[in-house]
Structure 1
């Protein structure tokens, strides 16, 4: 091989080596500059357990806004909305009465709870439009001292109400039982033979001027904490 041939081989080898070197640098630089996050998008690789994720708010009993201190029972009472949506009663995170449980009715809905243990004693409802008020009176007379009484109205709570029934409800600590009217919305938590008025009571009265023909489907909601009775 002459000198010219040797020079051609050397030039070709240098060219191949340089090309390989440049190609290697290009490929290395390209892959280093394109991250998987930028290629697929940050949402695909987002880790839901990353430290920047917002912690979930703990759920309170009965879904209440505030938690209850020790030795207190959480409760939530929601009245019916006109004759459209039924009421619900929750006590110590247990749904006691609701449309889903199929144990509510038109009129007044009651749940009796043991004030010491928080256990359910009885549920019942009384039709105050076409029912007989004597059944309500008999029920109220059977309630034992210290029993917590949860009440939620549905549709009409008062058409058949008489003075005896109103007095018995007042003795549970109610302020509004004495003036309860047709289609009022009422929620209440009282106690048998309570010496003072209960702080747990709400009333929404029908406006006879503006709601003469139509009772709007508005529900009353009341939630809170009641102290556990000690033995």
Structure 2
């Protein structure tokens, strides 16, 4: 009989405790304004919605240089062809002078001429050195370039098979050290000037020879490039 009474008392106590807990929660909800509850819920949700801070994208430089050229200088970038379908490019002051997008690039030696005083491109041509007799026209073209001009030369595919001594002499007279080393499908880039003395510290020429080894271009040499800044006024 005592055990039954004890169980009944425990049940009554648990029931009373549950009612007290429910009533306490009810009072808490009634005492706290709805605005405060809503604001608390919003603050919790907004923690996961805050935008993630990202570093700003680097500003694009002329001719895709990594760093900007100093004031009062010209920016340039020369890129040879690489493989059959990666065409050569010549960029000057962020203007594409020769390239696939301009439609004036082809197999052989590609040349762009810029007026050093004004910075304006005056002519862009290519000379096929694999088919046809274009060494003579290339020589005459180089010799006809006016004074105070910048000359940018890049190869695509083959620039040497029909390149004769007359053209090599003309390019050598402009300061080339590698023109006589160019081979079949060598990648070659060259910066020259006529009537202008270029700074001694800039890279003016680069060459990469083809080989018979298998590489990403199946034996063709990879593209090469040079880029830099030329002062607008030279002492």
TM over 0.5: yes
Select 1:189's aligned residue among 188, 191, 202. 191
Structure 2 counterparts to residues 169-188 of structure 1, below 5 A: 169-188=171-190
Gaps of 5+ in 1: 1-17
Q: What's the Cα RMSD here?
A: 2.9
- Retained in 2: the 8 A contact 1:206–1:215? yes
Q: Deviations over 1:35-54 (max 9, x none)?
A: 34x32563x442x8xxx542
Go from structure 1 to structure 2 and tell me whether the alpha carbon gap of 1:53 and 1:85 turns closer, same or farther (over 3 Å shift): closer
Matches within 5 A, 1:160-171: 160-171=162-173
Secondary structure of the 2:82 match is coil
Partner of 1:199: 203
**Which residue pairs with 2:225 in the alignment?**
221
Q: How does 1:1-231 map to 2 (within 5 A)?
A: 22-26=28-32, 28=34, 30-36=37-43, 38-39=44-45, 42=48, 44-46=49-51, 53-132=54-133, 133-192=135-194, 199-207=203-211, 210=213, 214-216=218-220, 218-229=222-233
Distance 2:73 2:197 in 1: 20
Normalised by the size of structure 1, how large is the TM-score? 0.78
Contact kept? 1:115, 1:229, Cα under 8 Å: no
Greater alpha carbon shift after TM alignment, 121-130 vs 174-183: 174-183
Figure out how many residues of one structure are paired with residues of the other and give that number.
Answer: 207
Is the contact made by 1:82 and 1:183 (CA closer than 8 Å) also made in structure 2? no
C-alpha distance after superposition, 1:63-93 (max 9, x if no partner): 1012111221000111111222111111011
SS of corresponding position for 1:34: helix
Question: Quick one: structure 1 residues 170 and 23, their matched pair in 2 at CA, closer, same or farther if it must change by over 3 Å?
Answer: same
The answer as to whether partners of 2:203 and 2:226 remain within 8 angstroms in 1 is no
TM-score by length of 2: 0.77
Counterpart Cα distance in 1 of 2:205 and 2:32 = 77
Q: What per-residue deviation string (whole Å, max 9, x for no partner) do you get for residues 150-205 of structure 1? A: 01100001000111100101111211112211110001111125678873111001
Structure 1 residue 146, shift from structure 2 partner: 2.2
Give the secondary-structure state (helix, strand or coil) at the position aligned to 1:35: helix
